Amino acid sequence: MSEYLLSVKIEKLEEGGYLATSDTLQGLIAQGRSIAETMEIAQMLQEN
């Protein structure tokens, strides 16, 4: 399995939680209650 770095933008949402998107990987959108949870979800999504 290959590994690579992916640039991800994280925004704090007004209603609470965080949203991660990526210009590199079109369609990657992850939302979580904390930055750590959001990054974990983003990582799982990019692996699929």
Q: Which amino acid is at 42?
A: A
In a 13 Å sphere around the CA of 36, the CA atoms on its Cβ side amount to 0
Helix (H, G, I), strand (E, B) or coil at 19: strand
Q: Assess whether pLDDT exceeds 90 at residue 3.
A: no
Residue-wise pLDDT for 4-31, tens only, equals 788 999 999 999 999 999 998 889 999 9
**CB 19, CB 13: distance < 8 Å:** yes
Instruction: For residue 46, name the pLDDT band (cuts at 50, 70, 90).
Output: confident
**CB 26, CB 7: distance < 8 Å:** no
Confidence at residue 1, expressed as pLDDT on a 0 to 100 scale? 62
